């Protein structure tokens, strides 16, 4: 949209309606993630002059509450929706969240562990996820480059290996 930065849009996967802007401001917005209960939208924006994490009621989107302190990118909800995780200041951060009321109750950002993991393709595209049991799925940065091996049809290879008596 003219006069805006990177905006957040709602899109129909099946093309039932054209893309509709959700948050369109002069700032850059990215990394949107809808809460598990579908009542809250968390995202990053540089409206303060640096990337920070914000949360809004969904679908109202009428007000933004700051989540991060001192910068934040690549935000994700916990599987329960009671915490948010983001990258900030070389740390993986967590913020407690209670969205039962009309305004969120946010905890203070807490460092979980040093963020020595691959950052991926930019500030707003998380390349990590949080499993149902609260563990993180991340890629370790290789000190001198590395290779990624992808095995296709591994079930066929497993069947052959087992038929030959297993791994010796």
- Closest residue by Cα to residue 102 from 68, 65, 127: 65
Q: pLDDT tens-digit profile of 36-62? A: 999 999 999 999 999 999 999 999 999
Give the angle subtended at the CA of 125 by the CAs of 137 and 134, to the nearest 5°: 25
CATH number of 8-163: 2.120.10.30, 2.60.40.420, 3.40.50.2000, 1.25.40.10? 2.120.10.30
Residue 145 — pLDDT band, cuts 50, 70, 90? low
Q: What is the pTM of this model?
A: 0.81
Coil, helix or strand for 161?
helix
* pLDDT reported for residue 161: 84
* pLDDT reported for residue 167: 72
Q: pLDDT tens-digit profile of 83-136? A: 999 999 999 999 999 999 999 999 999 999 999 888 876 778 888 999 999 899
In the chain, % of residues over pLDDT 90: 68
Alpha carbon of 154 to those of 132, 149, 157: distances in Å? 25, 12, 5
Domain boundaries, the chain: 8-163
* pLDDT reported for residue 123: 75
């Amino acid at each position: 949209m003219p006069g805006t930065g990177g905006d957040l849009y709602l899109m129909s996967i099946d093309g039932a309606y054209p893309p509709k802007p959700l948050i369109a401001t002069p700032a850059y917005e990215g990394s949107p993630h809808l809460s598990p209960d579908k009542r809250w939208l968390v995202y990053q924006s540089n409206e303060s002059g640096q990337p920070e994490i914000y949360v809004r009621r969904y679908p109202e989107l009428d007000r933004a509450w700051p989540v991060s302190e001192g910068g934040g990118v690549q935000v994700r909800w916990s599987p329960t929706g009671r915490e948010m995780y983001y990258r900030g200041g070389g740390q993986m951060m967590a913020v407690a969240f209670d969205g039962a009321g009309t305004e969120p109750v946010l905890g203070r950002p807490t460092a979980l562990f040093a963020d020595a993991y691959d950052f991926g393709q930019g500030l707003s595209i998380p390349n990590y996820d949080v499993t149902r049991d609260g563990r993180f799925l991340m890629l370790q940065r290789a000190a001198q480059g590395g290779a990624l091996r992808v095995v296709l049809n591994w079930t066929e290879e497993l069947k052959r290996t087992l038929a030959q008596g297993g791994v010796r």
